[in-house]
Structure 1
Amino acid sequence: MELTRQNSDTHPGGATRDVVTAMLFVGLMFFILGFVTWLNGSLVPFLKIVCGLNSFQALWVTFAFYIAYTVMALPSAAILKRMAYKKGMTIGLGVMGVGALLFIPAAQSTHYALFLVALFTLASGMTLMQTAINPYIVCIGARESAAMRISIMGLFNKGAGVVVPLVFTHLMLDGIGGFSDAAMAAMDAAGRDAARATLSQRLVFPYACMAVALFAIMVLVHFSRLPDIPAEPETADLPVNRAGVLQFPQLVLGVIALFCYVGVEVIAGDTIGLYGRDLKVVNFGILTSYTMGCMVLGYLIGVAAIPRYLSQQKALVCSAVAGLVFTAGVVTSSSSAHGLSQVLLGWAGVPSVPDTVMCLALLGLANALMWPAIWPLALQGLGKYTASGSALLVMAISGGAVMPMLYGRLADAGNSQTAYWLMLPCYALILFYAIKGHKIRAWR
């Protein structure tokens, strides 16, 4: 990908109007990605009831979804080398539409494996889109403002994350009290199966609508005039190296940092509903909105502060430190007192939650600037290896598959609150990358 041409006379997307148009269009893509991604936070406790699962089993939802980024990242990069980005987005939306359709037979059968196949298919299409649009946003303008542009895209992505749990709760979790653990335990086997089948049917209409919308947007993208960025020419600025993309420590360490970041982001966004249900929080179905709301606030800070007041590196340092502090708060705060949320949210009339849940939601604020900061730091200086580096970074999204599963195992084996200590070493690794790791340019 071309990284150096940023003037309007040399870069097709360099003119201000073209950049703004492209950002608005790609913003729609980020909204779609956010809508599908953050639906998982409400889907996990929902499927736990429908399929009669424990926490570890329910978090296979996140594993099936995020492992697709590892499995499909390199094939996605290969597809994008053969065709333009717009065609890649079109194919990605089509695959996502097929994944949404697969939810219909899954809901009708209440077969957990079919839900996982549908989620994997959805995420496969998303992988192709992620592989294209993230480096596109980095390269479309000045690199020093890349984190700001990604922050704007994050507003679309996490804004969808605020809306989705509210919509899901309205459509699918109405009257969920009748499906509580106590209510289900009081039924005989036939009654439980009938209740779960009835609840599962609520998924059919929303996912059918999602499929129609995805196919419609696929057509819109196909006929759009979204500007493209030319591929890196063969006579690139870097010599061929047998180590290939792995010769860059800033990238490899960035992949590790991104793996940790996505892991803690998914834990904060997708386990908060399960955790709230364990604590008998009445509005557990919308708790993902709390985390996403904090992330939106973080992205607004990024848009306003980067790079004018805060460099990408300093933003990452501040985010990692905040992550360590809020994680300590999750593990040590009260599970019954509501003082923190009353102070922070009471003025807005938002229902209060236990302090430990509020600290978990505040991790959204800590996590918001990590993705937009890590990407440009990790891709710095890669030249013709940028596309391969982007594929590796997309593969790091598999942290969202692995880390929540580890949390689920720890929660089932012990205590769901203390299991959140798992995030402390992740934030410590991100802090190392922010301070030193991204500066390393040679392995020796």
Structure 2
Amino acid sequence: MQRVVIVGGGFGGIYTALALEKAMRRRDDLEVTLINRTNYFLYYPLMPEVISSGVEPRHVVVPLRTLFKRIRVLEAEVRCLDEERREVLAYRDGMQERLSFDHLVLASGVEANLAAFPGVSEVAFPFKAAEDAIALHNQIVDSFEAAEFTEDPAERRALLTFVVVGGGSTGVECMGEIEAYIEGIRRYYPRLDPREVRLVLVELAPRILAEVGPELGDYAADRLRERGIELFLENSVTSCSPTQVRLANGTVIPTRTLVWTIGTTPTAFTKSLDLPKDAKGHLVTEPTLALAGHPGLWALGDAARIPDPEGKPYPPTAQHAVREAKRLASNLLASIDGKPLEPYVFHAYGTFVSIGAKQGVAVIRGRQVKGFLAWLAWRAVHFWLLPGIDRKMRVLVDWLFSRTHRKDVVQIGLRRPATQLVVTPRIAFLREGRAVPAASDAEPPLI
């Protein structure tokens, strides 16, 4: 019996497990365990739509146990690898379990690296977990409620100012959905002057969306500006506090909402491994996704750097992670059967970015697409990649429902803190569990 342990339940880990589960229908020599810190798979590309109530929060997470019949799922954290004894050590709530393996698949992904930017972790909203999107949705609603209450014009303008740092796809999609949500809920706050709402996107590069090229990047920038979004290009945040953000050009922006979408780093577990890594701590694999000099060890997804035929690393995208998983599973089985391994070679279908308001940009097989068709292509790709027919149908219903119904102006209760800054003390979500909602305001946790 060949024991396979998969560490990580992102795109790479999930699709590797799905490929192995399919193989287990016709062979009985595999024992597979998937270990993830949560018991669900977060479909990260749809997180921005949670902000705008375009998709229900539960529908962007897929319960792992509904995906597998033959694979053991453990909700735990892997902290140690003993390569000599072929074991990993998994922890959960003070308990631990040693799991032996013949093959270990490292798909542990990356995490937000706010610590690299002094002061940011104390005041900014990260955007890497499901609860981050929920917390940001709550923050927008709470900001409007507080703005409705205050009589101080300066405080009101600060409450209605929202700053997003990062002009890549995540930052642009996040800002696009913030604008779309605010546009949808303004009617419920007739006392507030729409001109006091300020949306700011900060990007270090001369253009946003470098991944789609200058022409589409400029198109996206123009569409965002038409919707009233200010772009501070070739700029960065030099300091921030709970009340303001200072940019490199000297601009000071009073705000109560700072969203940070840049900066990721491999997990502490990945960094601790004595395995081939690049300067930033990502695992460096062979083209076959195996780790050179470490038989039975494999890596893929955001945690890994996999060379293309020219020796350059493939981009860490969902499309590549899904294809990497299929090649890794195939090579893992070939290794067990004593067959030759094949290199991973894949040309992505394209790059797709939604900029909100039914607009998008895309590069599909080298062809540039923009506007409504690009947005439609973005939705089609993510509908296809979302695992599980149940979640596909739920998201489809959400999309259809959002076309005919108004935006919800409601906060979603959380017991577990997602971030550290909320504008009113009524619901105080602070980091590390130092504060939780008051008993009178507590609601059942959504996730």
TM-score w.r.t. the length of structure 2 is: 0.25
Greater strand share, structure number: 2
Q: Which has the higher contact order (CA 8 A, sep 6+)?
A: 1
